[in-house]
Chain A
Amino acid sequence: MKARLVLRFPPLLVDQPVVYKLIKDYNLVFNILRADITPDSEGLMVLEIEGDENDFKQGLEYLEKRGVKVQPLSQDVVMIEELCTHCGACVVHCPTGALYYDEERRVLFASEKCVACEICVEICPYRAMEVRLE
């Protein structure tokens, strides 16, 4: 199975290799979509995790035991296609390549790559990118 999760680390956990354990002990493959970790404060990470269902469950239990708060990524950024002018002002600002040009220079949105950072929502002059709460 595969899921996008938001992990919140308590300050004392920030410099411990919790995420590393997920690979080593639970065979989980993951992609870091966003990481915001500063010493002395809560850390935030958005991960896309993939693995066997059992490993997945145990991995999450392990995280929760260590004090990491785990939530599914509950916020989605969507493209309202009829509002998009395909200018491309957002493309250069999207940190994950979720917004990109095709060969026709049309701007497309690959939602599976989006980490809901909302940068494009701020940047798009035509309000074509919108935050949707699930």
Chain B
Amino acid sequence: MRERTIEEINEKIKKGTVVVLTAEEVIEMAKEEGYAKAAEKVDVVTTGTFGPMCSSGIIINFGHPVPRIKKSRVWLNDVPAYGGLAAVDLYLGATAIPENDPANTNYPGEFKYGGGHVIEDLVSGKDILLYAEGYGTDCYPRKELETYININTINEVILFNPRNCYQNYNVAVNLSNRTIYTYMGVLKPNLGNANYCSAGQLSPLLKDPLYETIGVGTRIFLGGGIGYVAWWGTQHSPAVPRNELGIPKVPAGTLALIGDLKQMSPKWLRGASIRGYGVSLAVGVGIPIPILNEEIFRRASASDEEITAPVVDYSDAYPNRKSEILAEVTYAQLKSGEIEVLGKKVPTASLSSYYKAKEIATILKNWIKEGKFLLTKPVEPLPGPESGMKTKPCEIRKPYTEEL
């Protein structure tokens, strides 16, 4: 096919002649018409994902009271936020929980309310109780502040998620003989169930596995509004084993995302209480893939049969960072409801919502078709497999002790 440019695609969007398919629809089309022919026709493929993404949070500037305060410690609805930035800026992380939450002292903890829920309440327009302490200075004399805030009274609220959209993820199982409560859900003993957490064939980074179109600055659907890829995500690890299409076989790339929370909706940002683990935030993300050439199209039309995930034991291998992989399964097998691990048939469950992922890909498709969303060229590419970049572990060094 003749190569396309982002500019050409944007012209088509403005004229209303752009051809956009979701990452699911395009699989069907490629099967029927062949990759070469289908690639000629399709300008954009939209992806989507909706699941708990623990490395998420918000930056708030709540405005200056009279007299002013330079807060050093701050809480929102009793959930501690980070106050070590300027006077009235704060960062609230999705997994923060109130100091008086019983957590896992009454195992498995319920984790009824935390950072993820504050974010959901804020985006819903609810009042949030802000409590702040400062030590008092000549320019910021106030030492204590207690007030309600909501999304309309504060200056900025920016969703800034250091790590979202994991490119592929583990399938969690439990080889031990007791039920375990993990961030991958409740795992019944002796391979009782296998939990996975990826939209597979709809998932953004699985459809642009070599980061050919998604990069720093890419405009995206984030939490129901428009956001951007800010950087590569923390633990971005592109140099991992991949299949013939370049799709990683284990968790690999990640994205740091940013956007204005005021545009977003509680439909796509949901606080999650994960039994025995803690609080998280389910985030809805959709990313368009411009079909610039046939290779990009081929990868964007990869199906669940072509994408595999590693099965990992969360009773021992995961917590103790052993690299043992029990099996490799396809997303098609995972979605069939049952996989085989160590000769045993194991029922599967998903933590990420395929149904919602599809809804997001469809919304983004409509935005583009209606001319409301233009595509962007990355300002900077993400480090790819050739960068050799890999997540580093934390090797524990003993504190320095002076020998006598």
Which residues does A use to contact B, with CB under 8 Å?
85-93, 101, 104-107, 122-123, 125-127
Contacts beyond the supplied A93-B193, A93-B349: 13 A-B pairs with Cβ under 8 Å = A85-B50, A85-B353, A85-B356, A86-B353, A87-B51, A87-B351, A87-B356, A88-B349, A89-B186, A92-B348, A125-B274, A125-B275, A126-B271
Min distance, Cβ B343 to any Cβ of chain A, angstroms: 19
Q: In the complex, are the beta carbons of B282 and A105 less than 8 A apart?
A: no
Bound complex: CA A16 to CA B202 (Å): 55
* CB contact under 8 A between A85 and B349, given known A93-B193, A105-B354: no
Q: In the complex, are the beta carbons of A85 and B270 less than 8 A apart?
A: yes
Look across to chain B and name the residue whose beta carbon is closest to the beta carbon of A90: B349
Q: In the complex, are the beta carbons of A126 and B270 less than 8 A apart?
A: yes
Bound complex: CA A106 to CA B357 (Å): 11
Q: In the complex, are the beta carbons of A92 and B349 less than 8 A apart?
A: yes
* CB contact under 8 A between A125 and B193, given known A87-B350, A93-B349: no
Q: In the complex, are the beta carbons of B355 and A86 less than 8 A apart?
A: yes
Q: How large is the interface on B (under 10, 10 to 19, 20 to 34, 35 or more residues)?
A: 20 to 34
Q: Using Cβ atoms and an 8 Å threshold, which residues of chain A touch B193?
A: 92-93
Q: List residues 157-187 of chain B with CB under 8 A from any CB of chain A.
A: 185-186
What total of A-B pairs shows CB separation below 8 Å?
64
Bound complex: CA A105 to CA B334 (Å): 13
> Contact partner of B275 among A85, A88, A106, A122, CB < 8 A?
A122
Q: Using Cβ atoms and an 8 Å threshold, which residues of chain A touch B352?
A: 87
Bound complex: CA A87 to CA B283 (Å): 13
Q: Using Cβ atoms and an 8 Å threshold, which residues of chain A touch B188?
A: 93
Bound complex: CA A122 to CA B271 (Å): 15
Q: In the complex, are the beta carbons of A89 and B195 less than 8 A apart?
A: yes
Look across to chain B and name the residue whose beta carbon is closest to the beta carbon of A92: B349
Q: What are 22 A-B pairs with beta-carbon distances under 8 A?
A: A86-B355, A87-B350, A87-B352, A88-B349, A88-B350, A88-B354, A89-B185, A89-B351, A92-B348, A92-B349, A93-B193, A104-B358, A105-B335, A105-B355, A105-B358, A107-B355, A122-B275, A123-B186, A126-B270, A126-B271, A126-B272, A127-B273
* CB contact under 8 A between A104 and B355, given known A89-B185, A93-B186, A126-B282: yes
